[in-house]
Amino acid sequence: MATMRLEFVAQDHSVFSGDVTAVQAPGAEGQLGILPKHAPLMTVLSPGEVVVQREGAEPLYFAVSGGWMEVRPDQVTILARTAERSDQIDAARAEAARARAAQLLAQGIRRDQRALVELSLKRQIVRLRVSGRRRGWYGPTASESDTQTKIE
């Protein structure tokens, strides 16, 4: 099976470096699927889930809070603002942060703070979804869906 090199770094650490068979990432205009020999491109990453497929191994799941991705036929480079692997996310802490952000939005906050709180809420929902991958859970809870509806 064809592979490509993935160099995945966050601001403060190397996240993953190795040969992969596919990468899925949250591009600015939707989810991107990258395979070896993909046409070159550069894109902004939105907060979301990065999935790394390796030959003969289980996929790796990461929560990212945005960044950049460069694709060349034989290499993908991801520069993320923050990145956490699914097994490194503290789900209880992410849920507490999600609840705080949702509460702030429900109470009403100043316009200049609203975008930051909405971004925090989205980041926590992504972290919860990605942390759920290791437990076999793949979607938002009812409360997360309700909160997502409120911010749209």
pLDDT tens digits, 106-128: 888 888 888 889 888 888 888 88
Secondary structure (3-state) at 30: strand
Q: What is the pLDDT of residues 39-54, one digit of tens each?
A: 999 999 999 999 999 9
Give dist(CA 123, CA 116) in Å, integer: 10
Contacts of 136 (CB under 8 A, 6+ apart): none
The residue assigned the tokens 């703070």 is 113
| Length of the chain measured in residues | 152
Q: Any idea which of 13-22, 47-56, 136-145 has the lowest mean pLDDT? A: 136-145
Chain mean position to CA 105: 22
Count of Cβ atoms closer than 10 Å to residue 27 Cβ: 17
Q: Give me the chain's average pLDDT, please.
A: 87
**Which of residues 136 and 53 earns the better pLDDT score?**
53
From CA 72, how far away is CA 67, in angstroms rounded?
17
Q: Report how far residue 26's alpha carbon sits from residue 8's, in angstroms, rounded to the nearest whole number.
A: 14
Mean pLDDT of the 65-81 span: 97
Residue 134: pLDDT band with limits 50, 70, 90: low
Top CATH class of 4-86 equals mainly beta
Q: Which residues, including other chains, have CB under 8 Å from residue 81's CB and lie 6 or more apart? A: 10, 11, 64, 65, 66, 67
pTM of the model: 0.79
Residue ranges of domains in the chain: 4-86, 90-151
